Structure 1
Amino acid sequence: MNIKKLPAYIFIWLMPAALLSGCGNDSDSVLSSFPEPESWTLTQLDDGVELIQRHYDSLFDAPQFIHVVSVTPDAGDIGLGFSSGYLFDDLRKPVSRYGERLGAIAAINSGFGHGGPDYANSGILKIDGELLPFFDDEPDELHFVGSSAVGLDEDGMPVFRTRNGDDWDDEWPEVDHAMAGGHMLVTGGSVYPVVYDESYTTHIEDRHSAVRHPRTAICRTYGGHTLLIAADGRHDGEAEGLTLNELARFMLDLGCMDGINLDGGGSTTMWTAAKGVVNHPTDNQEFDHEGEREIKTVIYVK
């Protein structure tokens, strides 16, 4: 097991959202660029931070429930953070508990937790220039786990990259903050080729990617907004869930320029300080807000 070493304790506070702008020319609500903006429900969580939700009777020929937290590029002191259960006494806990302990405005589940010890992320996890424990020696059928990541460059810009090989031994020196997820979904305003072609290489990857499940993702829009996305699933008649191809295509409709898939399925959870858990996690197999799973890592807004 290729476990990276961790300094004793690290707290992350990423760059202010005002520095997250890709184009920097759109400070209004991102909702204006969403499909049928009048059909979404908007809740203002803080200055420059919005919760935007919509239930579809039919999206990709199935009912869907989509939840988006948007951070504008000029949100002042508000920014993104990465956190891991390794920094606390309990290595795994629900997203809501992370959010409360971090004093966050909003939080979503993030990295995968397949294989390896409870304190290690699947794929690179880097905070304030230091590496937290992670592993990247998954079996071949799970090699898509930890295969892409979101980071912040030296200018505070969110950037996305793939692993580009068997492991993360280069430690992504261009960024001080990084959180690995799963597949790259959108790059340069196009669906990532593997996801577009659905050219998955193993039965497990195909079952994970080409079958509808709850999904979590993060992207940056052309207007510089950061979007945290949770799509419900596994609820017949209410929310069927999305394949990765469907998720990526929908992200293009939301204006995403670059973005990656995060852990989904029973891990998919979106929490806000104002409203608690706002999506419908599936671990209790009920269409309510009570079915949170204990997870290793989160991305949060504070």
Structure 2
Amino acid sequence: MKQPLTKLLIIAAALLASCSKNADNSPLPQPTATDSVALIPLTQDWKKAIHLMKDFPNGVQVFLNKKTINNKATVMYAVVFDPKLIELKPVTSATNKKVSDFYNEELSRKFACINGGFFGTNTSYSLSMYNGIISAVNIKALTRTYNSTNTSYYPTRAAFGLKADGTPEVAWIYHVGTGNGTIYSYPTVSPNFLNSAPQAVPSATFPTGATVWSVNSAIGGSPMLIKNNNINITDEEELIVIDNNASRARSAIGYTNNNKVILLAVEGNNPNGGTGLSLAELAQVMKDMGCAGAINLDGGGSTSLIVNGTATVKPSDSGGERPVITALILKSKS
């Protein structure tokens, strides 16, 4: 005689419950990031940095790569996370502060912290937004020489954002209006170039295809590295031509087609370690990791990545960690 369906379900549930406990009736340990499969497919050059992942939950993993790129020694750390499980918290300080200080001052359960966008003394030049609150804007105007005259340019610069549901994206953006304004994103970069007349101030209609950028949290940088699955380095249009072809420390953020996010820190200026990458090499590394979109963050002496309380890449500056204005903290959602 067949058992009623409800009775079979009760028996199955009991068996599953018993299998999830030890002989002494205590719960079995749950899987962690150290014993789970990689969140994204990576080449064998990327080794899971288990020593940095103690007590990490599923949803965030750390990898180390020391492969040679174009005859240059590298030291690269990547933190890969699922934004639906792990919180990305852009933070801004009123004064320049070390990345390790940003990390240490975060009171919640945190996993990593990397430097953010560009800055001056106690001033951010790049967007920082968390849970809809803007604490810094992408720079709205730059002065460059044109026809021997100081001239204002209005660049649409790159930014990385997360929607309320955790979906990541990158865009060229501009804050339209006064103050923080309304953030508009554009499908193409405003085509500014040095030694050419400046483009119009970006607006709700220029460049073509403007839409209100509906993200919940974001960090600005420059330039765009990857857009729509293609390497698209718009450093000239974003007016950020600074040491782009030099080998130096680099920081970047990007996302894959399965909506996992990658924080990348590349060591530079270390004769006994990583010598650094050019901007094009950085973009290729992100592309090889599977990024569908990626932007450059501030690099050089600003590059710093703290994971589980431990410093990773050696600072480029001889004096150690460089104080910055914005940073990205990975933390628990609860």
Q: TM-score range by the shorter chain?
A: 0.7 to 0.9
SS at match of 2:66: strand
Count of aligned residue pairs for this structure pair:
253
Higher relative contact order (CA 8 A, sep 6+): 1
Which residue matches 1:53? 64
CA-to-aligned-CA distance 1:94-145 (integer Å, 9 cap, x gap): 111101111421000011104xx61x32133323223224342232389799
| Structure 2 counterpart of 1:157, from 138, 161, 167 | 167
Which residue of the partner structure matches residue 257 of structure 1? Answer: 292
Shift of 1:72: 3.0
Query: Equivalents in 1 of 2:156, 2:98: separation in Å?
Result: 20
Distance 2:133 2:175 in 1: 22
Aligned pairs for 1:1-302 (under 5 A) are: 28-30=37-39, 33-37=41-45, 40-43=47-50, 44-45=53-54, 46-47=56-57, 48-56=59-67, 58-72=68-82, 75=85, 78-86=86-94, 91-103=95-107, 104-114=110-120, 118=122, 120-134=123-137, 135-140=139-144, 147-163=157-173, 169-172=181-184, 173=212, 174-194=214-234, 200=236, 205-274=240-309, 276-284=310-318, 291-302=320-331
Note closer, same or farther for the CA distance 1:299–1:193 as it changes in structure 2 (3 Å cut): closer
Contact 2:173 2:183 (C-alpha < 8 Å) held by counterparts:
no
Which letter maps to 1:99? Y
In the alignment, residue 295 of structure 2 is paired with which amino acid?
A: I
Q: Distance in 1 between matches of 2:176 and 2:247?
A: 27
Q: For the structure 1 residues 178 and 165, does the alpha-carbon distance in structure 2 shift closer, same or farther, using more than 3 Å as the test?
A: closer
1:140-160 CA distance string (max 9 Å, x none): 389799811111223321221
Distance between the aligned counterparts of 1:106 and 1:143, measured in 2?
A: 36
Instruction: State TM-score, norm by structure 2.
Output: 0.68
Higher helix share: 1
Q: Which runs of 5+ in 1 are unaligned?
A: 1-26, 286-290
Question: 2: CA distance between counterparts of 1:201 and 1:155?
Answer: 31
Higher-strand-fraction structure: 2
Q: Which moved more, 1:212-221 or 1:236-245?
A: 236-245
> What is the distance in 2 between the residues matched to 1:80 and 1:138?
29
In structure 2, distance between residues paired with 1:240 and 1:219: 22
SS of corresponding position for 2:329: strand
